[in-house]
């Protein structure tokens, strides 16, 4: 018994050690006789349990790195334990269990990425995409709060979705993106670590009860589009899968965000005038009917008197500057709910809801006066005026197609121009109301 390569222990009926061999003593020390076996080994969970069997996995109280299988044989005097070293097996089992757990987490997060990819693809607006990203990141990392920041034209990060518990620290949810140097995932576990990353951040986390955070820039094709962050109000560490998952979600969001922004730019370019930035004729033609908040519509067709001379004498570049100035003046003299569009060349259209013909007259005269005011960039003796034609629906004719109203206003404009210009002329179309 003494020279066996395994531990052999004789226990009395009270489970105290009566006799043992050298192997067991080498593991547990000389002072073993008379003591309980449980003073030296305690049963632990086995990753492959011996269901219904006689083997039990135990871990040493003397050396926690040592594990052993223990098999008990009971007799009339007590029992005999055979203790087989299983340290290597336990280490392998722990590694296997960790791998299985990591595989399960990876599968779960992969499912989240796939679900996020599908949700991102369905997003048709930047706001919707930001909402999906905030929800997805919070779920993926089991965070109490998450926030998505998007960069505006001045490279300032603005809160677009979610909530930011460190809003006071981040200057009321606005951060100058150009001053932030990080270009990769930032993981912070605890305020002390936060203070080492950015002075003041640890203090803010303590004040707001934030225990950890993870933040990731949203970058696509080398351009930083924004960032997202998750905030934890419980102690949190991050495993090796955290960074790949964060990068994957940010990468998908960046690609989708770029696509949506490009679509928005293309749509804006298709329906807006490049020179003035106003809606263009195509936008009006794509909207056969329009609602500007009232049952009665007034259509003002504006043609600039004297603009051809500006182009001929000063060139098209100066002409474009004049058009932008006219667009600015017109914009300042219509309401937010009105529609102002550049119809083509030196022609503009205003669509407004009015109560009476006198309201339409006042609007037209106000716009005419705005155009006629001197333009400082033009030489002395050169100026612009406007010929304005007005067509207005009558109460029961609110469903009349927009293009027919524009044509009626256009004809009225030509009558105003033929009469010398710089005046307002109402349509004589019998289907429109007259002042």
What region, left, alpha or beta, does residue 17 occupy, with left being phi > 0 and alpha being psi -120 to 50 degrees? beta
Spatial CA neighbour of 218 closest among 189, 256, 179: 256
- Give the model's pLDDT for residue 213: 95
Q: Record the tokens describing residue 233, joined without a space.
A: 């109000």
Quick check: 224 pLDDT over 60?
yes
**What CA–CA distance (Å, rounded) separates 296 from 109?**
56
Cα gap 284→300, rounded to integer Å: 13
DSSP class of 177 = G
Structure tokens at 351: 């669509």
Strands 424-426 and 385-392: parallel
Taking the domains of the chain in order of start, what are their residue ranges? 6-91, 123-268, 281-426
Q: What is the pLDDT of residues 393-428, one digit of tens each?
A: 866 455 667 888 999 999 999 999 999 999 999 997
Q: Let me know if 346 is a catalytic residue.
A: yes
Find out if CATH 3.40.50.10880 is the number for domain 6-91.
no
- Cβ partners under 8 Å of residue 332, min gap 6: 370
Model pLDDT for residues 342-393, shown as the tens digit of each residue: 999 999 999 998 888 889 999 999 999 999 999 998 998 898 999 999 998 8
pLDDT in tens, 228-241: 999 999 999 998 88
Q: 408 - beta bridge partners?
A: none
Q: What is the pLDDT of residues 258-312, one digit of tens each?
A: 999 999 889 889 999 999 999 999 988 887 666 555 567 899 999 999 999 999 9
Distance CA 150, CA 177 (A): 10
Residue 281 corresponds to which tokens in the numbers above?
A: 């004729």
Domain 123-268 = CATH 3.90.950.20: no
Vertex 29 angle, CA 24 and 30, to 5°? 100
Strand order in the sheet with 339-344: 339-344, 347-353, 297-305, 385-392, 424-426
Between CA 410 and CA 431 the distance in angstroms is 15
Token pair belonging to 114: 């796939």
Point out which residues pair with 58 in neighbouring strands.
43, 68
CATH number of 281-426: 3.30.70.270
d(CA 182, CA 395): 61
Look over the chain and give the mean of its residue pLDDT values, rounded to a whole number: 87
Which of 273, 303, 305, 346 does the annotation list as catalytic? 346
Q: Could you check whether 6-91 and 123-268 share the same CATH topology?
A: yes
DSSP string, 337-402: TSEEEEEETTEEEEEEE-SSHHHHHHHHHHHHHHHHS--TTSPTT---EEEEEEEE--GGGTT--H
Distances (CA, A) of 394 to 285, 337, 342, 361: 22, 20, 25, 15
pLDDT for 173-221, tens place per residue?
Answer: 334 443 345 578 999 999 999 988 888 888 999 999 999 999 999 988 8
Tokens of 230: 């998750």
DSSP line for 286-330: H-SS--SSSSSEEEEEEEEETHHHHHHHH-HHHHHHHHHHHHHHH
Rounded CA Rg of the chain:
40
């Amino acid at each position: 018994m003494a020279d066996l390569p395994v531990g052999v222990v004789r226990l009395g009926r009270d489970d105290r050690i009566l006799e043992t061999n050298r192997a067991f003593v080498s593991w547990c020390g000389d002072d073993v006789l008379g003591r309980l076996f449980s003073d030296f080994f305690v049963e632990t969970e086995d990753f492959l349990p011996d269901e219904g069997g006689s083997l039990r996995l135990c871990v040493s109280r003397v050396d926690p790195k040592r594990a052993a299988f223990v098999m008990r044989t009971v007799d009339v005097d007590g029992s005999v334990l055979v203790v087989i070293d299983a340290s290597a097996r336990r280490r392998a089992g722990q590694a296997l269990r960790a791998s299985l757990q990591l595989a399960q987490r990876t599968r779960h997060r992969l499912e989240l990425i796939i679900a996020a990819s599908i949700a991102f693809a369905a997003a048709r607006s930047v706001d919707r995409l930001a909402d999906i990203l905030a929800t997805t990141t919070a779920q993926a990392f089991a965070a109490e709060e998450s926030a998505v920041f998007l960069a505006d034209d001045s490279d300032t990060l603005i809160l677009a979705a979610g909530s930011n518990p460190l809003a006071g620290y981040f200057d009321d949810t606005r951060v100058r993106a150009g001053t932030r140097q990080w270009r990769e995932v930032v993981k912070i576990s605890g305020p002390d670590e936060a203070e080492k990353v950015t002075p003041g951040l640890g203090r803010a986390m303590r004040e707001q009860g934030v225990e950890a955070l993870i933040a990731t820039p949203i970058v696509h094709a080398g351009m930083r589009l924004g960032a997202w962050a998750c905030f934890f109000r419980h102690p949190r560490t991050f495993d090796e899968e955290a960074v790949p998952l964060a990068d994957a979600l940010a990468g998908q969001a960046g690609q989708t965000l770029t696509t949506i922004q490009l679509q928005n730019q293309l749509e804006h370019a298709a329906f807006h005038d490049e020179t003035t930035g106003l809606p263009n004729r195509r936008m009006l033609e794509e909207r056969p009917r329009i609602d500007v908040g009232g049952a009665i519509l007034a259509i003002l067709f504006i043609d600039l008197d004297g603009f051809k001379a500006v182009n001929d004498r000063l060139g098209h570049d100066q002409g474009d500057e004049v058009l932008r100035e006219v667009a600015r003046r017109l914009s300042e003299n219509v309401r937010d709910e009105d529609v102002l569009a550049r119809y083509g060349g030196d022609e503009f259209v205003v669509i407004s809801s009015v109560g009476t013909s006198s309201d339409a007259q006042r609007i037209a005269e106000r716009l005419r006066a705005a155009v006629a005011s001197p333009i400082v960039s033009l030489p002395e003796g050169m100026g612009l005026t406007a010929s304005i034609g007005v067509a207005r629906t009558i109460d029961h004719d609110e469903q009349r197609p927009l293009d027919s109203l524009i044509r009626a206003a256009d004809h009225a404009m030509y009558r105003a121009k033929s009469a010398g210009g710089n005046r307002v002329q109402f349509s004589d179309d019998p289907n429109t109301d007259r002042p």
